[in-house]
Amino acid sequence: MSDESTDQPREAPERPDPAPSPAAYTIGLAQINPTLGDVDRNLAKHHEFIERAVFEKVDLLVFPEASLTGYYLQDLTDDVAMRVDAPPLRRLAEVAAQQDLDICVGFIEEDDRYIHYISQVYFSGGRPVHIHRKVYLPTYGMFDDMRFVGQGRKIRAFDTRFGRLGMLICEDFWHISSPYLLWQDGAETLLLVSAGPGRGVKPGDDYLDTTFDLGLTHRMFAEFFTTYVVHCNRVGYEDGIAFAGYSGVIGPDGAELARGPHFEETLITARIDPEAIRWKRRSLPLLRDEKPDLVLRELERIVAARDR
Protein backbone atom coordinates (compact mmCIF):
# COMPACT_ATOMS: atom_id res chain seq x y z
CA MET A 1 0.00 0.00 0.00
CA SER A 2 1.35 3.42 -0.89
CA ASP A 3 2.11 6.04 1.76
CA GLU A 4 0.75 8.63 -0.54
CA SER A 5 -2.61 10.03 0.44
CA THR A 6 -4.82 11.48 -2.28
CA ASP A 7 -5.36 14.43 0.06
CA GLN A 8 -1.75 15.42 -0.11
CA PRO A 9 -1.16 18.22 -2.63
CA ARG A 10 1.11 17.16 -5.41
CA GLU A 11 4.23 19.15 -6.01
CA ALA A 12 3.79 21.64 -8.83
CA PRO A 13 5.43 20.35 -11.98
CA GLU A 14 8.65 22.02 -13.14
CA ARG A 15 7.97 25.09 -15.30
CA PRO A 16 10.62 26.47 -17.63
CA ASP A 17 11.69 30.01 -16.67
CA PRO A 18 10.12 32.59 -18.96
CA ALA A 19 12.75 34.28 -21.10
CA PRO A 20 14.56 36.78 -18.86
CA SER A 21 13.94 40.46 -19.69
CA PRO A 22 16.91 42.37 -20.98
CA ALA A 23 18.71 43.89 -18.05
CA ALA A 24 17.94 47.38 -16.79
CA TYR A 25 20.13 50.12 -18.26
CA THR A 26 20.77 53.83 -17.92
CA ILE A 27 19.69 56.06 -20.76
CA GLY A 28 21.12 59.54 -21.29
CA LEU A 29 19.47 62.35 -23.21
CA ALA A 30 21.92 64.90 -24.57
CA GLN A 31 19.73 68.01 -24.62
CA ILE A 32 22.21 70.08 -26.61
CA ASN A 33 22.35 73.31 -28.56
CA PRO A 34 23.97 72.52 -31.94
CA THR A 35 25.59 75.27 -34.02
CA LEU A 36 23.72 75.82 -37.26
CA GLY A 37 25.76 74.45 -40.16
CA ASP A 38 29.01 73.87 -38.24
CA VAL A 39 29.54 70.10 -38.16
CA ASP A 40 33.04 70.26 -36.68
CA ARG A 41 31.89 72.30 -33.73
CA ASN A 42 28.95 69.96 -33.21
CA LEU A 43 31.20 66.91 -33.37
CA ALA A 44 33.26 68.40 -30.57
CA LYS A 45 30.09 68.84 -28.55
CA HIS A 46 29.11 65.23 -29.19
CA HIS A 47 32.49 64.06 -27.93
CA GLU A 48 32.10 66.26 -24.88
CA PHE A 49 28.70 64.78 -24.09
CA ILE A 50 30.00 61.26 -24.60
CA GLU A 51 32.56 61.96 -21.88
CA ARG A 52 29.87 63.34 -19.60
CA ALA A 53 27.66 60.35 -20.26
CA VAL A 54 30.46 57.91 -19.47
CA PHE A 55 31.07 59.76 -16.21
CA GLU A 56 27.36 59.42 -15.37
CA LYS A 57 27.49 55.68 -16.19
CA VAL A 58 25.12 56.00 -19.10
CA ASP A 59 24.71 52.91 -21.30
CA LEU A 60 22.80 54.45 -24.21
CA LEU A 61 23.19 58.13 -25.14
CA VAL A 62 20.56 59.77 -27.33
CA PHE A 63 21.11 63.02 -29.24
CA PRO A 64 18.35 65.18 -30.76
CA GLU A 65 17.25 65.42 -34.38
CA ALA A 66 19.94 66.94 -36.64
CA SER A 67 22.30 67.11 -33.65
CA LEU A 68 25.40 67.20 -35.88
CA THR A 69 24.11 69.92 -38.18
CA GLY A 70 21.40 72.13 -36.69
CA TYR A 71 17.90 72.22 -38.11
CA TYR A 72 16.94 75.26 -40.21
CA LEU A 73 19.73 74.56 -42.68
CA GLN A 74 17.95 75.53 -45.91
CA ASP A 75 20.59 75.58 -48.67
CA LEU A 76 23.22 74.57 -46.08
CA THR A 77 21.75 71.06 -46.23
CA ASP A 78 24.03 70.19 -49.15
CA ASP A 79 27.11 71.44 -47.32
CA VAL A 80 26.58 69.42 -44.15
CA ALA A 81 25.32 66.14 -45.59
CA MET A 82 27.49 63.09 -45.02
CA ARG A 83 27.39 59.36 -45.61
CA VAL A 84 26.82 57.16 -42.59
CA ASP A 85 30.33 55.71 -43.05
CA ALA A 86 31.97 59.15 -43.17
CA PRO A 87 35.12 59.27 -41.02
CA PRO A 88 33.84 61.78 -38.44
CA LEU A 89 30.78 59.64 -37.76
CA ARG A 90 32.86 56.47 -37.62
CA ARG A 91 35.21 58.12 -35.16
CA LEU A 92 32.30 59.18 -32.98
CA ALA A 93 30.97 55.64 -33.01
CA GLU A 94 34.39 54.17 -32.18
CA VAL A 95 35.02 56.56 -29.29
CA ALA A 96 31.65 55.63 -27.83
CA ALA A 97 32.27 51.92 -28.36
CA GLN A 98 35.59 52.13 -26.51
CA GLN A 99 33.57 53.26 -23.49
CA ASP A 100 30.95 50.56 -24.02
CA LEU A 101 28.40 53.25 -24.84
CA ASP A 102 25.73 52.98 -27.53
CA ILE A 103 24.84 56.29 -29.16
CA CYS A 104 22.00 57.61 -31.27
CA VAL A 105 23.00 60.59 -33.42
CA GLY A 106 21.13 63.01 -35.70
CA PHE A 107 22.62 64.10 -39.03
CA ILE A 108 21.88 64.85 -42.67
CA GLU A 109 22.53 61.58 -44.45
CA GLU A 110 23.64 61.33 -48.05
CA ASP A 111 22.86 57.98 -49.66
CA ASP A 112 24.45 56.21 -52.65
CA ARG A 113 22.33 58.24 -55.07
CA TYR A 114 23.27 61.56 -53.45
CA ILE A 115 19.81 61.94 -51.95
CA HIS A 116 19.69 63.65 -48.54
CA TYR A 117 17.63 62.64 -45.54
CA ILE A 118 17.11 63.83 -41.99
CA SER A 119 18.43 60.69 -40.32
CA GLN A 120 19.05 59.23 -36.90
CA VAL A 121 21.68 56.50 -36.63
CA TYR A 122 22.11 54.03 -33.77
CA PHE A 123 25.73 53.01 -33.23
CA SER A 124 26.81 50.06 -31.13
CA GLY A 125 30.27 48.55 -30.99
CA GLY A 126 31.43 51.15 -33.48
CA ARG A 127 28.97 50.11 -36.18
CA PRO A 128 25.60 51.43 -37.39
CA VAL A 129 22.98 49.00 -36.12
CA HIS A 130 20.01 50.91 -37.54
CA ILE A 131 19.25 54.12 -39.41
CA HIS A 132 15.88 55.79 -39.39
CA ARG A 133 15.19 58.33 -42.12
CA LYS A 134 12.55 60.91 -41.24
CA VAL A 135 9.38 59.87 -43.04
CA TYR A 136 7.05 62.76 -42.32
CA LEU A 137 8.58 66.04 -43.47
CA PRO A 138 6.58 69.03 -42.23
CA THR A 139 6.24 71.61 -44.97
CA TYR A 140 3.76 74.12 -43.64
CA GLY A 141 3.77 77.16 -41.37
CA MET A 142 7.27 77.57 -40.01
CA PHE A 143 8.57 74.29 -41.53
CA ASP A 144 10.09 73.62 -44.94
CA ASP A 145 11.65 70.13 -44.61
CA MET A 146 10.38 68.71 -47.89
CA ARG A 147 12.08 71.39 -49.90
CA PHE A 148 15.53 70.20 -48.83
CA VAL A 149 15.49 66.46 -48.10
CA GLY A 150 13.93 63.23 -49.30
CA GLN A 151 11.35 61.20 -47.41
CA GLY A 152 12.19 58.05 -45.50
CA ARG A 153 10.21 54.99 -46.51
CA LYS A 154 10.45 52.68 -43.51
CA ILE A 155 9.28 52.54 -39.92
CA ARG A 156 10.90 49.55 -38.25
CA ALA A 157 11.92 48.36 -34.82
CA PHE A 158 15.43 46.97 -34.39
CA ASP A 159 17.30 44.75 -31.95
CA THR A 160 19.96 46.03 -29.61
CA ARG A 161 21.67 44.75 -26.49
CA PHE A 162 19.02 46.75 -24.60
CA GLY A 163 16.16 44.97 -26.26
CA ARG A 164 14.08 45.89 -29.25
CA LEU A 165 13.89 49.63 -29.82
CA GLY A 166 12.28 52.04 -32.27
CA MET A 167 13.34 55.51 -33.42
CA LEU A 168 11.19 58.32 -34.74
CA ILE A 169 12.08 61.89 -35.70
CA CYS A 170 9.89 64.84 -34.75
CA GLU A 171 6.98 65.04 -37.20
CA ASP A 172 7.06 61.22 -37.43
CA PHE A 173 5.58 60.99 -33.96
CA TRP A 174 2.83 63.48 -34.74
CA HIS A 175 1.36 60.64 -36.81
CA ILE A 176 0.05 58.09 -34.36
CA SER A 177 0.49 55.35 -36.95
CA SER A 178 4.26 55.65 -36.53
CA PRO A 179 4.64 54.58 -32.88
CA TYR A 180 1.80 52.14 -33.49
CA LEU A 181 3.88 50.38 -36.15
CA LEU A 182 6.94 50.32 -33.92
CA TRP A 183 4.85 48.90 -31.12
CA GLN A 184 3.50 46.16 -33.32
CA ASP A 185 7.00 45.52 -34.65
CA GLY A 186 8.14 44.77 -31.12
CA ALA A 187 9.67 48.00 -29.84
CA GLU A 188 9.64 48.19 -26.04
CA THR A 189 11.25 51.61 -25.88
CA LEU A 190 10.43 54.39 -28.29
CA LEU A 191 13.30 56.81 -28.92
CA LEU A 192 11.65 60.02 -30.07
CA VAL A 193 14.16 62.66 -31.15
CA SER A 194 13.39 66.18 -32.27
CA ALA A 195 14.50 69.69 -33.08
CA GLY A 196 11.16 70.88 -31.79
CA PRO A 197 10.43 74.60 -31.83
CA GLY A 198 8.56 75.87 -28.80
CA ARG A 199 5.88 78.52 -28.97
CA GLY A 200 2.78 79.69 -27.18
CA VAL A 201 2.94 81.46 -23.84
CA LYS A 202 -0.60 81.18 -22.51
CA PRO A 203 -0.85 81.85 -18.80
CA GLY A 204 -1.26 79.11 -16.24
CA ASP A 205 1.81 76.99 -16.80
CA ASP A 206 5.53 77.24 -16.63
CA TYR A 207 6.06 75.67 -20.03
CA LEU A 208 5.37 76.57 -23.62
CA ASP A 209 2.01 75.57 -25.08
CA THR A 210 3.60 73.23 -27.61
CA THR A 211 5.48 71.50 -24.81
CA PHE A 212 2.26 70.87 -22.97
CA ASP A 213 0.77 69.24 -26.07
CA LEU A 214 3.80 67.03 -26.54
CA GLY A 215 3.81 65.94 -22.93
CA LEU A 216 0.25 64.73 -23.34
CA THR A 217 0.91 62.81 -26.53
CA HIS A 218 4.03 61.11 -25.19
CA ARG A 219 2.30 60.05 -22.04
CA MET A 220 -0.50 58.71 -24.19
CA PHE A 221 1.93 56.64 -26.25
CA ALA A 222 3.49 55.21 -23.07
CA GLU A 223 0.11 54.23 -21.66
CA PHE A 224 -1.47 52.95 -24.88
CA PHE A 225 1.56 50.92 -25.91
CA THR A 226 2.79 50.04 -22.40
CA THR A 227 6.30 50.91 -23.49
CA TYR A 228 8.96 53.34 -22.35
CA VAL A 229 8.87 56.64 -24.22
CA VAL A 230 12.09 58.61 -24.43
CA HIS A 231 12.02 62.12 -25.91
CA CYS A 232 15.25 63.97 -26.65
CA ASN A 233 14.69 67.53 -27.86
CA ARG A 234 17.33 70.17 -28.47
CA VAL A 235 17.63 73.71 -27.10
CA GLY A 236 18.98 76.98 -28.53
CA TYR A 237 17.71 79.42 -31.14
CA GLU A 238 17.93 79.56 -34.92
CA ASP A 239 16.85 82.80 -36.59
CA GLY A 240 14.74 83.72 -33.57
CA ILE A 241 13.01 80.35 -33.28
CA ALA A 242 13.45 78.78 -29.86
CA PHE A 243 13.88 75.02 -29.44
CA ALA A 244 11.99 73.93 -26.40
CA GLY A 245 14.18 71.28 -24.77
CA TYR A 246 12.06 69.73 -22.00
CA SER A 247 13.37 66.27 -22.86
CA GLY A 248 12.06 63.42 -20.75
CA VAL A 249 11.54 59.74 -20.07
CA ILE A 250 8.12 58.24 -19.39
CA GLY A 251 7.54 54.76 -18.02
CA PRO A 252 5.10 52.15 -19.33
CA ASP A 253 2.53 53.23 -16.78
CA GLY A 254 2.66 56.85 -17.95
CA ALA A 255 4.75 58.01 -15.01
CA GLU A 256 7.38 60.66 -15.70
CA LEU A 257 10.78 59.29 -14.74
CA ALA A 258 12.95 62.21 -15.80
CA ARG A 259 12.38 65.70 -17.19
CA GLY A 260 14.73 68.36 -18.49
CA PRO A 261 14.25 72.12 -18.44
CA HIS A 262 13.40 74.57 -21.18
CA PHE A 263 16.25 76.59 -22.66
CA GLU A 264 19.19 74.86 -20.99
CA GLU A 265 21.79 72.54 -22.40
CA THR A 266 22.05 69.53 -20.10
CA LEU A 267 22.39 65.75 -19.80
CA ILE A 268 19.30 63.99 -18.47
CA THR A 269 19.53 60.41 -17.25
CA ALA A 270 17.01 57.77 -16.27
CA ARG A 271 17.00 54.10 -15.50
CA ILE A 272 15.04 51.91 -17.92
CA ASP A 273 13.96 48.55 -16.59
CA PRO A 274 12.18 46.26 -19.07
CA GLU A 275 10.86 44.33 -16.07
CA ALA A 276 8.49 47.27 -15.55
CA ILE A 277 6.94 46.54 -18.94
CA ARG A 278 6.33 42.91 -18.06
CA TRP A 279 4.72 44.02 -14.81
CA LYS A 280 2.51 46.64 -16.47
CA ARG A 281 1.27 44.24 -19.13
CA ARG A 282 -0.07 41.91 -16.45
CA SER A 283 -2.75 44.43 -15.56
CA LEU A 284 -3.12 46.10 -18.96
CA PRO A 285 -2.76 43.53 -21.77
CA LEU A 286 -3.41 45.99 -24.61
CA LEU A 287 -0.67 44.46 -26.74
CA ARG A 288 -2.11 41.00 -26.31
CA ASP A 289 -5.58 42.14 -27.33
CA GLU A 290 -4.58 44.40 -30.22
CA LYS A 291 -5.83 43.19 -33.63
CA PRO A 292 -3.33 44.17 -36.32
CA ASP A 293 -4.98 41.84 -38.81
CA LEU A 294 -8.26 43.71 -38.40
CA VAL A 295 -6.41 47.01 -38.74
CA LEU A 296 -4.72 45.77 -41.90
CA ARG A 297 -7.99 44.52 -43.43
CA GLU A 298 -9.90 47.68 -42.67
CA LEU A 299 -7.08 49.89 -43.87
CA GLU A 300 -6.88 47.99 -47.13
CA ARG A 301 -10.61 48.53 -47.61
CA ILE A 302 -10.37 52.22 -46.72
CA VAL A 303 -7.37 52.89 -48.96
CA ALA A 304 -8.93 51.01 -51.89
CA ALA A 305 -12.13 53.03 -51.52
CA ARG A 306 -10.14 56.25 -51.39
CA ASP A 307 -8.45 55.56 -54.69
CA ARG A 308 -11.64 54.61 -56.49
Q: Which residues would be at the binding site for another protein (CB under 8 A)? A: 35-38, 72-76, 198, 201-208, 236-240, 242, 262-263
- Distance in angstroms (rounded) separating the CA atoms of residues 35 and 32: 10
Considering beta carbons, is residue 161 or 259 the nearer one to another protein? Answer: 259
What is the smallest separation between the CB atom of 203 and another protein, expressed in angstroms? 4
CB 223 within 8 A of CB 241: no
Considering beta carbons, is residue 76 or 220 the nearer one to another protein? Answer: 76
Considering beta carbons, is residue 88 or 128 the nearer one to another protein? Answer: 88
Considering beta carbons, is residue 188 or 238 the nearer one to another protein? Answer: 238
Considering beta carbons, is residue 198 or 252 the nearer one to another protein? Answer: 198
What is the smallest separation between the CB atom of 110 and another protein, expressed in angstroms? 19
Considering beta carbons, is residue 216 or 286 the nearer one to another protein? Answer: 216
What is the smallest separation between the CB atom of 34 and another protein, expressed in angstroms? 11
What is the smallest separation between the CB atom of 214 and another protein, expressed in angstroms? 16
What is the smallest separation between the CB atom of 122 and another protein, expressed in angstroms? 28
What residues contact residue 24 under an 8 Å CB cut-off, 6+ apart? 271, 272, 273, 274, 275
- Distance in angstroms (rounded) separating the CA atoms of residues 235 and 247: 10
What is the smallest separation between the CB atom of 231 and another protein, expressed in angstroms? 20
